[in-house]
């Protein structure tokens, strides 16, 4: 139900995968920023910030997989993905 609503809103699997990759980069950026901005707090606080943001990535990747599965079932998978699958079958 939620995946269908997301799909109807125009959110595609590629969007979720991009958000997952961005959250990994953001996790590293928050770790570095916290480490530099709060030197007295130490590495432990920077680790907590990095891990907090890093926990978003699996959720986005899971949504991406669910959306991809939904797109496969309703036939709205992008042409790029279809082309990749055809190339894999030909190999």
The count of domains in the chain is 1
Quote the pLDDT of residue 28: 92
Range of the domain at 7: 2-90
Q: Residue 59 has what pLDDT?
A: 95
| Alpha-carbon distances, residue 77 vs 19, 60, 61, 81, 89 (angstroms) | 18, 18, 17, 7, 17
84 vs 89, residue with greater confidence: 89
Cα–Cα dist 38/50, whole Å: 14
Query: Residues 9-68: pLDDT tens digits?
Result: 999 999 999 999 999 999 999 988 888 887 777 788 888 888 888 899 999 999 999 999
pLDDT for 90 beyond 90: no
The tokens for 11 are: 């959110």
């Amino acid at each position: 139900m939620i995946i269908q609503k997301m799909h109807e809103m125009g959110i595609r699997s590629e969007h979720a995968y991009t958000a997952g990759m961005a959250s990994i980069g953001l996790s590293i950026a928050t770790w570095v920023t916290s480490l530099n901005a709060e030197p007295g707090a130490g590495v432990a606080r920077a680790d907590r910030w990095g891990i907090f943001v890093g926990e978003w990535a699996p959720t986005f990747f899971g949504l991406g997989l669910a959306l991809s599965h939904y797109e496969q079932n309703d036939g709205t998978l992008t042409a790029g993905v279809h082309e990749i699958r055809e190339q894999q079958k030909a190999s």
